């Protein structure tokens, strides 16, 4: 028995567990896998002496989130590391725009490539400095974000409000065409937009691309020293210091509901753990509602809505150990922790169209990480650990580059990995000759290794406007409460969505606390 049971030990689950333990609640976290962390793990995945991040790898949202900062994880061993250049975007045109953690360096680089574009970047950075607090407070708190909205409005002049509202709704292509003269600077925001699940022509995509680019400028794309798993280790140490309990290897198969209230969880081995105050689920919403709770306990409208839930794109991720740093032709790319690989915004549009039509891209857009630039502790001196991931359609109908079917068997996966490596080799001749070993996870592997990554979707559901705010995970109030009393959704399927910021778990924990206090006040259980 515990005051609260948390299902899942990803970052959101551990944030919820820590905040509830801070309230003096007895907390049990149940994790299906043998190690905690969800999609935040690291290990000597390929060979001894090389530490690879197994899923996610860099964390600007964690470094900027008030929720995560408020946990004081540095007191529990977490150390952030940053490359001097957060992001580089080399291309076949020979230019390599960058986002340095030093604004003047970013501005000077962009002005050198296209006069005036660095100055335009500085203006966008100054705008971000003004509105960052209001935006992050609005995104990372329950809906409606009253305090955050007031803070955002207060940062702008009355005459600026409508212009900013328009700016925030722009597709990435339109935004960068208005702000920059040259293609290289435009790539920085458009690439970040597609990284965030927005095609160059999608409304509000420009805002999310600008936000990620601005975070790269303000906090970098930081990584935990020693591997992504160090973030989880710090969160677990903090939880255990407050009496919380973590049980790994305990997959939960059902939420026990009595009288419309969640009262316990049941594990695969039949063990039941009663929860006297609340259950917080760091579980994908469709799995929680349809598998753990079951249709019989839900309103028909909720069942109908959750069946319309849309996942984000599937993913293929490759990790490498290398005999040396990636030999990018661009010197700036050699100094960056993260590199975007795609030649132009037009190519981004074509790739997005291939996603939309169910076609496997012939030339995939890659997000590449190289750890020697950021955290030398992860590999022997002179060597490299690197990774790249890209998206593919969740339902494959064709292949723009050949005859792959989307079965993602070994032969198909190997063929697609060759396409990924071709894109790097094109801009970094000699890359393949440095490969010591590789480890690949295709969409099937990702879901097998983490049940929340359904079909290889990393974001807990699409970030498109129709599944944001009051539409996430189903049309409602955009809050962590569920139709079952005492059960709260604290996963990336809830507002504000994917990313390691902890807000989904924090919102669920705070809702549980509020409901418990209200129950005492009004005599409800």
pLDDT tens figures, 48-86? 999 999 999 999 999 999 999 999 999 999 999 999 999
Name the packing angle between helices 117-139 and 146-154 (round to 10°). Answer: 150
Rounded Cα gap, residues 187 and 183, in angstroms:
6
pLDDT digits over 340-362, tens only? 999 999 999 999 999 999 999 99
The gap from C-alpha 42 to its chain's centroid, in whole angstroms, comes to: 16
- Separation of alpha carbons 7 and 115, rounded Å: 53
Record the tokens describing residue 334, joined without a space. Answer: 């050699």
From residue 498, how far is each of 14, 49, 422, 451 by CA, in Å? 15, 31, 29, 15
DSSP state of 115: T
* DSSP bridge pairs for 266: 254, 272
Residue among 463, 511, 469, 471 at smallest CA distance from 487: 511
Beta bridge partners of 2: 275
Is the CB of residue 434 less than 8 Å from the CB of residue 386?
Answer: no
362/354 Cα distance (integer angstroms):
9
Omega of the bond prior to 97 within 30 degrees of 0, cis?
no
Place of tokens 């992860």: 378
| pLDDT score recorded for residue 142 | 79
In the three-class reduction of DSSP (H, G, I as helix; E, B as strand; rest coil), residue 208 is classed as helix
Q: Which two tokens stand for residue 196?
A: 């965030």
Distances in Å between the Cα of 244 and the Cα atoms of 16, 98, 118, 307 are 11, 43, 49, 35
Reported as type and span, the H/E element at residue 520 is helix 503-522
Determine the 3-state secondary structure of 425 from DSSP. Answer: helix
41: which 2 tokens?
């793990």
> Alpha-carbon distance 215 to 167, whole Å?
17
What number of other Cβ atoms are within 10 A of residue 113's Cβ?
Answer: 19
- What pLDDT is stored for residue 521 in this prediction? 54
Indicate the helix (H) or strand (E) that contains 275.
Answer: strand 272-281
In contact, 248 and 36? CB cutoff 8 Å: yes
Phi-psi region of 220 (alpha: psi -120 to 50; beta: other; left: phi over 0): left
Which phi and psi angles does 82 have, rounded to 5°?
-135, 140
CA distance 228 to 81: 11
Pairing mode, if any, of strands 314-322 and 272-281? unpaired
Q: State the pLDDT at residue 522.
A: 54
The ranges of the chain with pLDDT < 70 are 519-525
- The pLDDT of residue 525 is 47
The length of the chain, given as a count of residues: 525
What's the token pair of residue 204?
A: 């509000």
pTM metric for this prediction: 0.95
The pLDDT score that the predictor gives to residue 220 is 95
Distance CA 17, CA 243 (A): 11
Q: How far apart are CA 260 and CA 420, in angstroms?
A: 50
CA 61 remoteness from chain centre: 8
CB atoms within 10 A of CB 34: 8
Pairing of strands 85-88, 336-341: parallel
Q: What is the pLDDT of residue 503?
A: 95
């Amino acid at each position: 028995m515990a005051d609260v049971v948390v299902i899942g030990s990803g970052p959101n689950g551990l944030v919820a567990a820590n905040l509830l333990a801070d309230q003096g609640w007895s907390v049990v976290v149940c994790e299906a896998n043998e190690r905690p962390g969800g999609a935040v793990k690291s290990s000597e995945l390929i060979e001894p002496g090389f530490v690879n991040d197994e899923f996610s790898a860099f964390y600007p949202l964690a470094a900027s989130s008030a929720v995560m900062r408020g946990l004081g994880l540095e007191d529990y061993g977490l150390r952030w590391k940053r490359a001097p250049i957060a992001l580089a975007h080399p291309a076949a045109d020979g230019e390599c725009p960058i986002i340095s953690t030093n604004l003047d360096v970013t501005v000077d680089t962009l002005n050198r490539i296209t006069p005036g574009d660095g100055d335009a970047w500085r203006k966008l950075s100054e705008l971000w400095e003004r509105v960052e607090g209001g935006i992050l407070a609005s995104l990372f708190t329950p809906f409606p974000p009253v305090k955050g909205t007031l803070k955002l409005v207060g940062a702008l002049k009355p005459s600026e409000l409508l212009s900013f509202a328009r700016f925030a709704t722009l597709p990435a292509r339109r935004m960068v065409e208005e702000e920059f003269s040259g293609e290289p600077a435009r790539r920085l925001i458009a690439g970040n937009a597609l990284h965030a699940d927005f095609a160059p022509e999608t409304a509000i995509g420009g805002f999310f691309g600008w936000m990620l680019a601005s975070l790269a400028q303000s906090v970098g794309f930081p990584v935990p020293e020693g591997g992504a798993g160090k973030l989880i280790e710090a969160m677990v140490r903090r939880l255990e210091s407050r009496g919380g309990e973590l049980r790994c290897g305990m997959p939960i198969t059902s939420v026990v509901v009595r009288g419309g209230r969640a009262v316990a969880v049941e594990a695969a081995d039949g063990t039941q753990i009663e929860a006297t105050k609340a259950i917080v689920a760091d579980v994908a919403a469709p799995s929680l509602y349809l598998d753990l709770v079951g249709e019989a306990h839900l309103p028909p409208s909720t069942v109908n809505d959750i069946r319309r839930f849309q996942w984000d794109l599937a993913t293929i991720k490759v990790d490498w150990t290398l005999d040396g740093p990636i030999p990018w032709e661009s010197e700036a790319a050699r100094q960056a922790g993260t590199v975007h690989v795609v030649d132009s915004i037009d190519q981004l549009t074509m790739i997005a169209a291939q996603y939309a039509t169910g076609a496997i891209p012939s030339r995939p857009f890659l997000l590449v990480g190289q750890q020697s630039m950021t955290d030398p502790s992860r590999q022997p001196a002179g060597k490299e650990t690197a990774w790249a991931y890209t998206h593919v359609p969740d339902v494959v109908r064709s292949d723009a580059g050949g005859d792959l079917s989307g079965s993602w068997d070994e032969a198909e996966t190997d063929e697609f990995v060759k396409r990924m490596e071709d894109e790097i080799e094109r801009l970094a001749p000699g890359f393949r000759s440095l490969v010591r070993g590789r480890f690949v996870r295709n969409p099937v592997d990702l879901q097998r290794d983490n049940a929340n990554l359904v079909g290889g979707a990393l974001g807990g559901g699409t970030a498109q406007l129709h599944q944001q705010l009051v539409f996430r995970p189903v049309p409602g109030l955009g809050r962590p409460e569920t139709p079952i009393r005492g059960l709260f959704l604290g996963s990336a399927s809830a507002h504000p969505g994917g990313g390691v910021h902890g807000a989904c778990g924090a919102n669920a924990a705070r809702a549980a606390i509020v409901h418990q206090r209200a129950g005492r006040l009004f005599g409800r259980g």
